[in-house]
């Protein structure tokens, strides 16, 4: 048996035995929409006196070619039928939970000459058959929209999680029009909320009833059954961050809700939900550090907690249990569900092992492990984007999952763009190191999840959804490490070395230079990242 190490994330004074009982996972709470289909039918162009089902069958036949599947929507679909400057994309997903879709506005179209010209402005609209009722903080700002009250009684303008959103009800249905933006002065690099707000207003003014089908909207039901067989899988509870690694050293949030049934996103076990900023080789994300970064195996620590670290991404603790939540870990990203309003938005996770080029390397090579689609769903991603969403619209879930740090060039080449349907378990990429460039981050997958609320699509903690998905993948029940339990021992787990030294040349490892890492470029990139950016 190999030597074992203790990694002092938490070292309890009491030598207690870890709890054998897993957490009590919970289903999300939702509010079912009560649709007034008669009022919706009366809003249709050239409406007659037929029942709503017949009236909507007529309009569906007219709009189906342009918006495929529109009849599947469980709520009346509002869209800019005379789209004018707004061009529909291939991201349109109607179904039992409502519908969502996007339109693009190019610079100069419709008279909108924006300072931001890097990409078209993407406008999203969602109508919800049910909305998720979230507990805890939300940290949004609401502003009056007096000029729209006559056409949209009760409409609210909301700044939330780096989007300007207009939320309103019509026919008893909650609708949200949303544009990603940043609460700052107009810039050629990033869309400002001030600049794109008139775009959202114009989009709202063009909305018309375009389709849908009267149907019963049932309460969602999730199967939360966990395996009963024992396993070696262990994890800290949700909200239990690495000490002082939250925004302004705030704790995380203990959210035990499972928001979706899904497959685990890394194709094969084992896999590890782990911080990539406050673990070995991490840069402490702007919180400062003591010691030297850049030399393999050199000791250092993050100033926020003083935990001893080593500059080696292949350190065993990065690729062994237990898991640890990092949803509310220190980042400059807006997250309404985190105590301070800022956090990480999702979970960083690592695959089963670290593959290094040679014995002098301090980081893992990319593209060694596969990534799978967590559900059957529709891809939402414009070419070149760093993130890819899988969106699902079922009787039981209206959620979307985002994958980050795969190589966007590979995703473009493989057709992982808006409109593509994927199947659960389908391989959609490889674990990579793509930040804004190759080797711009550590070897990991960032995975996050959004659900539809009356404020629009909101980040929620996917941690317990991942726990359940992982338990089902390995066929065994995990063990939650409770507060006060001792820190688990970390077994030896050396990396896989592609080019090992021949026998008798053990001393040559010191002479071999460590693999190059673009550290300065990474830090310049981080300094330039706006506080509201959520990628």
Q: What is the pLDDT of residues 122-137, one digit of tens each?
A: 999 999 999 999 987 7
Nearest residue to 327 via CA among 441, 451, 460: 460
Q: Please determine, for residue 531, whether its predicted confidence score (pLDDT) is greater than 90.
A: no
| CA geometry: angle 217, 222, 225, nearest 5 deg | 160
Condensed to tens digits (0 to 9), the pLDDT of residues 343-391 reads 999 999 999 999 999 988 999 999 999 999 999 999 999 999 999 999 9
Q: What is the pLDDT of residue 533?
A: 35
Q: What's the mean pLDDT when you consider all of the chain?
A: 90
Condensed to tens digits (0 to 9), the pLDDT of residues 380-434 reads 999 999 999 999 999 999 999 999 999 999 999 999 999 999 999 999 999 999 9
Q: What is the pLDDT of residue 513?
A: 43
Q: Please determine, for residue 323, whether its predicted confidence score (pLDDT) is greater than 80.
A: yes
- Hey, which residues does 452 pair with through a beta bridge? 457
Q: Please determine, for residue 335, whether its predicted confidence score (pLDDT) is greater than 70.
A: yes
Q: What is the pLDDT of residue 506?
A: 54
| Cα-only R_g, the chain | 25
DSSP per position, 187-245: -SSS-BHHHHHHHHHHHHHT-EEEE------PPP----PPP-SEEEEEEEPTT-PSTT-
Cα(20)–Cα(120) distance, rounded to whole angstroms?
52
> Mean per-residue pLDDT for 108-122?
91
Cα(70)–Cα(177) distance, rounded to whole angstroms?
18
| Six-digit token string for 523 | 């830090």
Residues ≥6 apart with Cβ < 8 Å to 419: 89, 90, 91, 378, 379
Nearest residue to 247 via CA among 335, 135, 306: 335
Q: Are 470 and 233 in contact (CB under 8 A)?
A: yes
Condensed to tens digits (0 to 9), the pLDDT of residues 225-250 reads 999 999 999 999 999 999 999 999 99
> Mean per-residue pLDDT for 289-318?
96
Counting every residue written for the chain, the total comes to: 535
> Mean per-residue pLDDT for 302-326?
97
Domain ranges (residues) in the chain: 9-26+222-528, 32-211
Cα(302)–Cα(317) distance, rounded to whole angstroms?
16
Q: What is the pLDDT of residue 1?
A: 32
Using alpha carbons, list the distances in angstroms from residue 321 to 12, 270, 333, 353: 17, 9, 27, 12
- Hey, which residues does 236 pair with through a beta bridge? 481
483: left (phi over 0), alpha (psi -120 to 50) or beta: beta
| Six-digit token string for 496 | 């896989």
Cα(48)–Cα(37) distance, rounded to whole angstroms?
14
Share of the chain above pLDDT 70, in %: 90
Condensed to tens digits (0 to 9), the pLDDT of residues 468-509 reads 999 999 999 999 999 999 989 999 999 999 998 887 665 544
| Six-digit token string for 60 | 């569906």
Per DSSP, 438 falls in state T
In a 13 Å sphere around the CA of 483, the CA atoms on its Cβ side amount to: 6
Q: Which residue has the higher pLDDT, 23 or 151?
A: 151
Give the β-pairing of 355-356 and 496-497: parallel
Nearest residue to 124 via CA among 181, 66, 39, 173: 181
Q: What is the pLDDT of residue 186?
A: 87
């Amino acid at each position: 048996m190999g030597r074992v190490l203790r990694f002092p994330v938490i070292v309890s004074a009491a030598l207690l035995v870890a709890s054998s009982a897993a957490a009590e996972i919970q289903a999300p709470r939702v509010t079912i929409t009560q649709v007034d289909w008669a009022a919706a039918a009366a809003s249709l162009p050239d409406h007659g006196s037929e029942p709503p089902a017949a009236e909507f069958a007529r309009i569906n036949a007219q709009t189906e070619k342009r918006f495929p599947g529109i009849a599947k929507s469980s709520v009346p679909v509002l869209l800019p039928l005379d789209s004018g400057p707004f061009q529909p994309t291939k991201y349109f997903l109607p179904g039992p939970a409502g519908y969502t879709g996007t339109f693009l506005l190019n610079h100069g179209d419709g008279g909108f000459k924006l300072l931001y010209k890097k990409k078209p402005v993407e406008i999203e609209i969602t109508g919800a058959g049910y909305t998720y009722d979230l507990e805890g903080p939300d940290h949004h700002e609401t502003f009056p929209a007096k000029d729209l009250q006559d056409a949209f009684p009760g409409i609210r303008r909301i700044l939330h999680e780096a989007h300007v959103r207009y939320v309103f009800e019509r026919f008893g249905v909650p609708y949200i029009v949303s544009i990603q933006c940043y609460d700052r002065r107009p810039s050629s690099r990033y869309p400002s909320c001030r600049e794109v707000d008139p775009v959202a207003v114009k989009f709202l003014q063009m909305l018309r009833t375009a389709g849908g089908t009267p149907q019963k909207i049932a309460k969602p039901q999730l199967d939360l059954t966990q395996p009963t067989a024992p396993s070696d899988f262990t994890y800290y509870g949700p909200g239990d961050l690495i000490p002082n690694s939250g925004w302004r050293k705030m704790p995380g949030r203990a959210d035990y809700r499972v928001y979706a049934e899904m497959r685990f996103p890394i194709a094969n076990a084992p896999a590890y939900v782990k911080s990539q900023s406050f673990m070995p080789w991490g840069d402490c994300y702007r919180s400062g550090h003591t010691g030297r970064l850049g030399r393999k195996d050199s000791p250092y620590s993050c100033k926020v907690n003083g935990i001893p670290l080593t500059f080696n991404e292949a350190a065993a603790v990065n690729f062994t249990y237990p898991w640890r939540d990092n949803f509310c870990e220190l980042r400059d990203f807006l997250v309404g569900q985190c105590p301070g309003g800022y956090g990480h938005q999702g979970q960083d996770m690592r695959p089963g092992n670290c593959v290094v080029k040679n014995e002098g390397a301090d980081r893992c090579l990319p593209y060694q492990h596969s990534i799978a689609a967590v559900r059957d769903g529709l891809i939402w991603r414009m070419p070149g984007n760093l993130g890819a969403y899988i969106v699902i619209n079922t009787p039981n879930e209206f959620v979307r999952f985002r994958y980050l740090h795969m190589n966007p060039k590979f995703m473009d080449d493989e057709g992982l763009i808006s409109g593509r349907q994927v199947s659960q378990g389908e391989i959609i990429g490889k674990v990579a190191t793509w930040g804004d460039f190759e080797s711009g981050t550590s070897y990991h997958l960032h995975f996050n999840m959004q659900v539809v609320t009356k404020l629009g699509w909101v980040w929620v903690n996917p941690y317990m959804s991942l726990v359940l998905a992982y338990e089902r993948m390995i066929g065994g029940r995990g063990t939650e490490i409770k507060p006060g339990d001792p820190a688990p021992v970390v077994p030896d787990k050396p990396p896989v070395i592609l080019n090992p030294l021949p026998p008798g040349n053990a001393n040559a490892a010191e002479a071999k230079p460590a693999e190059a890492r673009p550290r300065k470029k990474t830090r310049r990139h981080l300094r330039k990242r706006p506080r509201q950016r959520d990628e």
